[in-house]
Amino acid sequence: MINISLPDGSIRSFDKPVSGADIAASIGPGLAKAALAVRVDGKMKDLSTVVDHDAKIGIVTSRDPEALELLRHDAAHVLAQAVQELYPGTQITFGPATDDGFYYDFVRSEPFSPEDFAKIEQRMAEIVDRDLPIVREVWDRAAIKDYFAKHGESFKFEWVDELPKGEEISVYKQGDWLDMCLGPHLPSTGKLGKAFKLTKVSGAYWRGDASKAQLQRVYGTVFFSDKELKDYLRRIEEAEKRDHRRLGREMSLFHQQEEAAGMVFWHPKGWTFWRTLEAYLRRKLDAGGYQEVKTPQLVDRKLWEDSGHWEKFRENMYLSENEEGLRDFIGDPDKRIFALKPMNCPCHVQIFNQGLRSYRELPLRMAEFGSCHRFEPSGALHGILRVRNFTQDDAHIFCSEEQIESETIRFCKLLGEIYKDLGFPDYFVKFSDRPPVRAGSDAVWDQAEGALRSASKAAGLDLQLNPGEGAFYGPKLEFVLRDAIGRDWQCGTLQVDFVLPERLDASYVAEDGSRKRPVMLHRAIFGSFERMIGILIEHYAGRFPLWLAPTQAVVVTIVNDADSYANEVAEQLRAAGLRVDTDLRNEKINYKVREHSLAHVPLILAVGRRDMENRTVAIRRLGSEKQEVLELGAAVTTLSTEARPPF
């Protein structure tokens, strides 16, 4: 007998091996119809998979979070089949699911364009209507190479030889079309449905190598219902309106250019925004018991070798070598290699290591707004959300193992307060455990993961497992906030590290007089200033809360006779702490109001002859057609109170 344990705790017994589809049917016809795949002992497999041993089984339906990735992978295959039916001679390469859809890379002599999408989508719909069974087969290596050779699939032919010797090669067929794939897949093309849409086409390179053949990458997205698809497309349209790169130009906050690819030129208004955010965060950290430090930008490779970053992170580091002619000048007989720091943690350990530390000094919370450099691939760069030079709102908490719990609770409270102040009350937390490539023994990782799980529970966190995504030196929590249009952004982190203090010989004198290693808690709330500012621009669509706005108010004149009064109003507002501009141009008031509204200035204060005589101002708030007339003193008091930062 084969005993199948179901998620509700019940057990079903079968007298012979049984497929996932048969298990679903034994539970009920409704589940049999809704079933898309089967989870066998936690691993998702095709519904046709035969279970021949006692196992824990779950039937995957469209309600499962994992099902969307399955749907997207199938959509990529249906796209590839549609393209090859429509455009014979097109070669296929790879087509994975992505975070928001899918893509497939093709080799074709003629370029694709968005005008082709309707035709391709129609053929995809026809393939769905055929309801072709999707069948998994295991092929011999020689047979699959022979197939690809005969069908002119030179890229797939090449890829077969890259697969490890002895590895099973699975092929998925739908009708006459097939592709090598690990799977799993839906039972048939009909299960895909028609809530899909192709979105864009771009260039790519075979195996990501610019020296190899150029490919055409066709992107798309797919959902289980038309409503979900329409909601997604509406969000994409709204996201384009909120694009931080466009708003950054329109509001003159920053710009980027090829001469400093992946880096940011901050304009006066953008830097004012930065400084406002930085001042707010510094006040929160000061109140939270953090000590701010500053460490060097350029550090000898030896420190990175000692820390383990040279081995694990070398390819992403910017390096600098002393020139031969400079040796005598610097008094160094050997040529030395320095690296621009990609992170701050090894430098913070150097500060901790100065002098003899006592347990009485713990926890020691060391913060730095540290400028870091990482060589990101050009294809990964995205405005100021993904850059090569960034400033981390970084901190490291040196503590005892017994203090991990209390420090985790304290940090989570601080992070929640800051996210709420910035307009992000909703966020969730992922638990990322040990990655495949890591430093430290399994015993150390068991200790670190156990400590972080326990602390998370004490902090009242509801964790989502994010397997294999921890840092190379320790497990971490990832704090994911949700913006105004429902997009998720991973920003804050908290990492438990037993490895780096050991590698860099950090220690303190314990209460019993012995020497002990501190635990390092790596933590950030923004992640980086650049990324957080980009997120805030898109979250608010440039219409920032008054306390954050680079220009909080502009005083505009209705007639030139009021110029001196406008300057007086502006000076009083500045004296009260507001960031104020004046507009004394000889333009019509409606033109001025429209221009400053398009620039997203929160407050427009209009003054004319009557206002000058009565010492009043007419206040118009961004997004409102109404205006409020207040006496100047009352206006200064009211607006300075409204503009006060939340902390």
User: Was 596 annotated as part of a binding site?
Assistant: no
Contact assessment for residue 449 and residue 433, using Cβ atoms and an 8 Å cutoff: yes
Cα 290 to Cα 363: distance, rounded to the nearest angstrom:
10
Catalytic residue among 72, 242, 348, 374: 374
Q: Which two tokens stand for residue 67?
A: 């099902």
Amino acid in the structure at residue 206 = W
What is the sign, positive or negative, of the torsion defined by CA atoms of 85, 90, 92, 98?
Answer: negative
Catalytic (active site) residue 256: no
Active site residue 394: yes
> Residue holding tokens 């890829």?
159
The rounded distance, in Å, linking the Cα atoms of 608 and 71 is: 63
Q: Do the annotations mark residue 373 as ligand-binding?
A: no
Distances (CA, A) of 93 to 75, 80, 379: 15, 9, 19
Residue 497, classed as helix, strand or coil, is strand
| Alpha-carbon gap, residue 85 to 90, rounded angstroms | 9
The residue annotated as part of the active site, out of 46, 393, 394, 421, is: 394
53 is catalytic: no
Residue 396 annotated to the active site: yes
Residues 6+ apart with CB under 8 A from 388: 261, 262, 263, 373, 374, 375, 376, 381
Question: Residue 69: which H helix or E strand, with range?
Answer: helix 67-86
Q: Residue 32: helix, strand or coil by DSSP?
A: helix
348 annotated among ligand-binding-site residues: no
Which string of b and e fits 104-123 if b means at least 16 CB within 10 Å? bbbbeeeebeeebbeebbeb
Nearest to 498 by CA among 435, 449, 432, 431: 449
Cβ pair 50, 21 in contact under 8 A: no
Burial of 239 (0-12, 13-18, 19+ CB in 10 A): middle
Beta-bridge mates of residue 341: none
The answer to whether 45 is a known catalytic residue is no
Long-range contacts of 148-156 (CB under 8 A, 24+ apart): 152/89, 152/91, 153/91, 153/92, 154/91, 155/91, 155/92, 155/93, 155/107, 155/206, 155/213, 156/91, 156/92, 156/93, 156/180
Burial letters 515-545, b for 16+ CB under 10 A, else e: ebbbbbbbbbbbbbbbbbbbbbbbbbbbebb
Q: Which residues are annotated as a binding site for Zn(2+)?
A: 345, 396, 522
Catalytic residue numbers?
345, 374, 392, 394, 396, 476, 522
Q: Which residues are annotated as a binding site?
A: 345, 396, 522
